[in-house]
Amino acid sequence: MSAFGVVSRLGRSRAVQRTRWCIPSAKGFSTLRKPASLFDSLDTFSERHIGPDDVEASRMLKAIGYNTMDDFISATIPSKIRVSPNTISNDDIKPLSEYELQAKAKALGGKNKVFKNFIGMGYHSAVVPPVVLRNVFENPAWYTQYTPYQPEISQGRLESLVNFQTMVMSLTAMDIANASLLDEATAAAEGMVMAFVSANSKRKIFLVDSGVLPQTLAVLKTRAKSFGIRVVVGDVQSLIQSETPSDVCGALVQYPDVNGSIRDFSEVAEKLHAADSLLIVATDLLALTQLKPPGEWGADIVVGNTARFGVPVGYGGPHAAFFAVKEKLKRKMPGRLVGRSRDAQGNSAYRLSLQTREQHIRREKATSNICTSQALLANMAAMYAVYHGPQGLNRIANKVHGFTQVFANTVVGVGYTLVNESFFDTVTIDVSPVLASAELVHLGATEAGINLRRIDERHVGVTFDESVTAQELVSLINVFTSAVAASPISLSDLVEPDTTSMPVSLKRTTSFLSHPIFNKHHSETEILRYIHHLASKDLSLAHTMIPLGSCTMKLNSTSSMIPLSWPEFGNIHPFAPHDQVKGYRTIIEELESHLCKITGFHSASLQPNSGAAGEYAGLCVIRAYHESRGEKHRDVCLIPLSAHGTNPASAAMAGLKVVAVKVHPDGNLDLEDLRAKAEKYSDNLAAFMITYPSTFGVFEDGIQEACKIVHENGGQVYLDGANLNAQIGLTNPATCGGDVCHLNLHKTFAIPHGGGGPGVGPICVAEHLAPFLPSHPALPAKGEQAINAVSAAPFGSASINLISWAYIKMLGGKGLVDCSKIALLNANYMASRLTGHYTLRYKNENNRVAHELLIDLAEFDKAAGLKVNDFAKRLQDYGFHPPTCSWPIQTCMLIEPTESETLEELDRFCDAMIKIRAEAEDIITGKQPKDNNLLKNAPHPMSVIALPEDKWNRPYTREDAAYPLHWLHEKKFWPTVSRLDDVHGDLNLICDCPSVEELASE
């Protein structure tokens, strides 16, 4: 059989349809495939995305003892859960070439109507500085980074995230801010839960002012139901008087509110504090350049989103939310927090502070399941602030308010009435003095290509942002003048206002963004150099493979990213009328259909905007299902000890009681323990959560039996889809026996991780659960059984769904299956190479792993005092991002190569691991001391290698430290700092930019 004959079983027609051309390469020869027909496309995506070609795949198969791919897959995946080879084919999803995909995306984009949006409601059309658009948003050195858990190779994005935190702290006047959350609505929900927990979970009433955004209220209601919190909505000042203070845990207000009014809530804050309750304020950072910040009038928690700081509106996201608190609440704050520490040389450096993934430690006792954020968008917002600085932001804010004032003055002059006397950028207009219905205004607006906020028959909302031009202001005014048959105006008729509608008592009097970083990068030359300086400190997929188990850091193709920057997708408001978003709706419907085909389920929702949000949404759907059957009491969730750490935290957030299920020493689920506990809790069993293949890196043989046990005892099965990359076209969650699963589009379906977000975690469900999928205030009403919204926008981070849609379309059915097969092959090849050097912890009866492998380093601790972290830091010297460390087992590394890495890159990584093993052996045998060696001192940044001779007190050479393998002389990524001191960073929590004095002292 030819080499390609082996791999043709993958579904790729590389050999059957193509002839190989041999061309010289650095490795001697490589293969370039000739199209079967002159009329075939040349830019086929599958062979550009999948790393190993047919010859390399053949070599790997032979290396692990197989002649065909079919034989290998049969030995890896249990036959009882295998699906038909034609379950997903090119007939189901026709593959498009890269050029064809661009043409299709452009055609669908053309079906979206790009109106000028004055809808507001928390979403603004931002002006993205071109230098930030090109060099951050469109730059793989920024969007392919992983979450900065390895700070020595992440100093660039960590510095940028500190800029973000400092920006938020400064504008809100709060003591500390995190490095972003998912969106404003879910940030507000996190604040509500913090208030609830701060009151020892005994106070059950949470007050919400009627001026809060409707999508935020919907998400609050979803979250509150799980915790037994009663959300009371109305005028917050009246509610404080009517509710018993000892029953209230907190309140949420909007500043300015949804209708544009700017209200003084300081008295509300005083009354809440007198009752030991918390005040949460949702606000707008641009408005805070002009308004007295919440931290100065009593806020305990301040939330909002930073979309108007240089991030496209994108039909609702992704956008970075912010979350800031007073000092006393800092250790209860959800999400990630970047702080300053010091490295082994005593130099200042950044790291993630505290236990920012607390759910992995506290599991079901965690108060949040946040596992990701919006790092890429937070970095864009931070760069926007750095680029404009305080003076630039003031100019932008003054223009936005000035335009709003001009508009208000003019429409009042022709007979309309303003509902809100005070405003920054939003006015609510009562049309009843001059018109019978607001619909007359909306009809005129539509004709002019303008969207306004629809409130009711009498009222219209108008919100301004920096993207509005003077001519667009004129067009907007003429919509209102024409509706009352007044004379149209021209630009020359407009007069600059000499008054402001912002209350004098609430005008900002304190400075903001005074740190040097916000006051020196205002030319494009300077900001360009700053952006690239930070990027040079960070290892990303632009440098090397990132073999993180369970994180699937695969190629984020340029062809799938390009449409994101198009205005046809970036400039669409999430609450735009449905007839304006036909292109988006087609993409969403196709993506949902494809995901259902892949998972074997009936229906899908793209609303959850992270994997953890998907877990939470899926469990809420299960609870709603039980409730519809009169079984609201079902509240027990069985979770194996091998589960993702977010699983128990998500279960707790959904109001479920977690019961752990044992796992055998070989990594397999203990079916007898599952059966015993399912039967014990059968009257109250709600769900069973399991990851498949397991987090130990194997396809467990008993998955269907496990699901059957749960169903027989009245529960539903939540199958965590984090590892779906191992399944496509080979098995699926429905065949395994699941009822619902979430998918990480940022893993299996190639959305970039962005240095820690964005992500998308849609859920797919069986038919009986479909009626319970999330609703949203901006969508047509679903059935009464639908749960409330779980994110701020109807389709979550809608714009980046384009990436996964494009990925699926370009691969086609067979290409998707190819990806899973090669992902499995790559992992098993690496397992084979590393076996004998390291202990492979788990494998099936055929010695096969799934798409990831778990190596145990416990033996080196006993023999040489080496921890997992020592191996991880030493890998940085070899130019690799370490695999997932100390999870799911503390002494292990979880390695996942993905399908997009070539055989050469796999071998480079294995060579590095084998060389590190030899270095460890030198410590075991006494050739190197246990406390001063290559691993304990790793990583070795250039500042260490360049130490003067009299300060080099190490029993190895600089050459061994920096260039342990020959190819590093040509291709070397230098860690920026030496190993960080984690304890120092947690004990000395400093989470903002260094002051002028600190910079000078350094």
pLDDT surpassing 50 at residue 535: yes
- Give the C-alpha separation, 163 to 388, whole Å: 13
- Give the C-alpha separation, 124 to 311, whole Å: 9
Q: What pLDDT, on a 0 to 100 scale, did the predictor assign at position 695?
A: 86
Strands 230-234 and 278-283: unpaired
Give SS3 for 893.
strand
pLDDT surpassing 60 at residue 863: yes
Angle at 328 between CA 327 and CA 330, to 5 degrees: 65
Check if the beta carbon of residue 877 is closer than 8 Å to that of residue 916.
no
Q: End-to-end distance of the chain based on CA atoms, in angstroms?
A: 65
Q: Which position has the higher pLDDT, 366 or 941?
A: 941
Check if the beta carbon of residue 452 is closer than 8 Å to that of residue 477.
no
Question: For the stretch 180-198, what's the b/e string if a residue is b when 16 or more beta carbons lie within 10 angstroms of its beta carbon?
Answer: bbbbbbbbbbbbbbbbbeb
- What's the mean pLDDT in 495-516? 95
Check if the beta carbon of residue 742 is closer than 8 Å to that of residue 617.
yes
Place of tokens 């499995």: 824
Check if the beta carbon of residue 673 is closer than 8 Å to that of residue 661.
yes
Least confident of 339-353, 446-460, 563-577, 894-908: 339-353
Q: Which position has the higher pLDDT, 1002 or 566?
A: 566
SS3 helix, strand, coil % of the chain, rounded to 5? 45, 15, 45
Model-level pTM?
Answer: 0.94
At 987, list the tokens: 């004990």
Place of tokens 């009329």: 39
Q: In percent, how much of the chain has pLDDT > 70?
A: 93
Place of tokens 């027609």: 13
- What's the mean pLDDT in 691-720? 95
Q: What pLDDT, on a 0 to 100 scale, did the predictor assign at position 989?
A: 59
Q: Which residues share a beta bridge with 700?
A: none
Residue-wise pLDDT for 976-986, tens only, equals 999 998 776 66
Residues 6+ apart with CB under 8 A from 744: 552, 611, 614, 721, 722, 724, 759, 760, 761
Place of tokens 């408001």: 573
Q: In percent, how much of the chain has pLDDT > 90?
A: 87
Residue 371 pLDDT level (bands cut at 50, 70, 90): confident
- What's the mean pLDDT in 253-261? 98
Check if the beta carbon of residue 608 is closer than 8 Å to that of residue 151.
no
Q: What pLDDT, on a 0 to 100 scale, did the predictor assign at position 783?
A: 82
DSSP assignment letter at 787: P
Residue-wise pLDDT for 413-461, tens only, equals 999 999 999 999 999 999 999 999 999 999 999 999 999 999 999 999 9
Angle at 571 between CA 570 and CA 572, to 5 degrees: 100
Q: Which residues share a beta bridge with 31?
A: 22
Residue-wise pLDDT for 10-52, tens only, equals 433 333 333 333 333 333 333 445 667 888 888 899 999 999 9
Q: What pLDDT, on a 0 to 100 scale, did the predictor assign at position 358?
A: 42
The letter for the amino acid at 575 is: F
- Give the C-alpha separation, 680 to 61, whole Å: 46
Place of tokens 């400039």: 571
Q: Which position has the higher pLDDT, 13 or 55?
A: 55
At 342, list the tokens: 């010091």
Q: What pLDDT, on a 0 to 100 scale, did the predictor assign at position 33?
A: 58
Peptide bond into 312 cis (omega under 30): no
Residues 6+ apart with CB under 8 A from 992: 162, 165, 166, 169, 515
Choose the most confident range, by mean pLDDT, from 637-646, 881-890, 939-948.
Answer: 939-948
pLDDT surpassing 80 at residue 771: yes
Give SS3 for 840.
strand
Peptide bond into 318 cis (omega under 30): yes
Residue 988 pLDDT level (bands cut at 50, 70, 90): low
DSSP assignment letter at 291: B
- What's the mean pLDDT in 338-347? 92
Closest CA to 146 of 898, 883, 902: 883
- Give the C-alpha separation, 797 to 804, whole Å: 12
Residue-wise pLDDT for 268-311, tens only, equals 999 999 999 999 999 999 999 999 999 999 999 999 999 999 99
Integer CA distances (angstroms), 30 to 13, 56, 69, 906, in order: 18, 10, 21, 16
Residue-wise pLDDT for 742-758, tens only, equals 999 999 999 999 999 99
* Domains of the chain as residue ranges with CATH: 130-388+515-558 (3.40.640.10), 852-936+940-974 (no CATH)
pLDDT surpassing 70 at residue 623: yes
Q: Which position has the higher pLDDT, 779 or 916?
A: 916
Q: What pLDDT, on a 0 to 100 scale, did the predictor assign at position 665?
A: 85
Q: What pLDDT, on a 0 to 100 scale, did the predictor assign at position 370?
A: 77
Name the strands in the sheet holding 657-661, side by side, starting at the edge strand that comes first in the sequence: 603-605, 763-765, 740-742, 716-720, 685-691, 636-640, 657-661
Q: Note the helical H segments in 449-557.
A: 470-483, 524-535
Residues 6+ apart with CB under 8 A from 635: 623, 655, 656, 657, 684, 686
CB atoms within 10 A of CB 651: 30
Q: What pLDDT, on a 0 to 100 scale, did the predictor assign at position 984?
A: 62
CB atoms within 10 A of CB 405: 22
DSSP assignment string, 732-756: -HHHHT-SEEEB-TTTTT----TTT
